[in-house]
Chains A and B, each alone.
Chain A
């Protein structure tokens, strides 16, 4: 389990031009994060046709601060065209372009929302294999039993079948609040889980629970894009608390994993 940060947590400072992408990555590294989720729709001026120059800059900055390029966050923007939705072909090509940009920037995972259908999600797997990339869909607001309904069930079927090891989920923190019986299998098919620092600070057992369940992915700090001193303090405490819980339970977690 690793600790990561959604770069859009720093939105306030970025859009106010108080800090550049490089300065924000440096800040994330200093806070103790090991990887980032990156949103090109926010941080790249050449979006949506991302230039090689900007892709190279992202790669260079992340390398400089030894930050893992964990997740390339794709907004499909299905409502971009006035009067109609994007066609299936347009969505596929948006995904294709972003797989290429993400690969060039050094990322191994791209994630999108449920604006992608399970059918398109499945069709993208061939290109993911060709490029040696992983693909995830974000599931928000998960309630008990939801993972057995509608398109979520279909995504899971693809992830556990043709997409095994290549496709997965990125989930919000609600997963950690669900009964263990509902979550065990989902942890292991998730590449990342979003969590708000204040939740961890109030209930450190959820980190312990995820670690003990053998969750192998990233815990991604998401604090609502605020740059307030309180939010910064929370982001810092999040890393410390998670690290402390994991260190204190290291032996126990290893024993559990070994069975």
Chain B
């Protein structure tokens, strides 16, 4: 099921910043939000795909940070006590030596998530939100 109503929330206007450790650039990061009228549990995220300049990134190259904790993408499904509040930003950190080049980049996000209430005979609703934005990297 595609839902466009909240797509704009998923990736808001912002600047991509390089991820630095002690002056060494290990990658880059930006923020995303949960695109719905209420929050959810990380376990309800069924798929989170990121493409930069039309190249889909490997899940293994991305960290997902929320509530002060850093998760691997493959771990998300297990965290049913970790809540993504609807006003809270999550940070996606992409591991890439040297970071991202300065200038504009096309960022595309696809988020597929399970709605954990209102079970139907065929299961819970699965919703997909997608958005593509051109963001500046500095």
Contact = CB atoms under 8 A, between A and B. Distances in A.
Interface of A: 8, 11, 14-17, 39, 41-42, 44-45, 47-49, 75-82, 85, 113, 115, 225
Contacts of B88: 45
B3 interface: no
B86 A77 contact: no
Nearest to B114: A79
Given A39-B38, A41-B38, A76 B78 contact: no
Given A15-B86, A42-B86, A45-B88, A80 B41 contact: yes
B39 A115 contact: no
A29 B44 CA distance: 35
22 contacts: A8-B37, A14-B86, A41-B39, A42-B38, A42-B39, A45-B87, A47-B39, A47-B85, A49-B81, A77-B116, A78-B119, A79-B116, A79-B124, A80-B41, A80-B44, A80-B116, A81-B43, A81-B80, A82-B78, A85-B119, A113-B117, A115-B119
Interface of B is mostly: loop
Contacts of B118: 113, 115
Interface of B: 6, 9, 37-39, 41, 43-44, 77-78, 80-81, 83, 85-88, 114-119, 123-124
Contact of B37 (A11, A17, A44, A81): A11
A231 to B, nearest CB: 14
A225 B80 CA distance: 26
A76 B117 contact: yes
Contacts of A16: 9
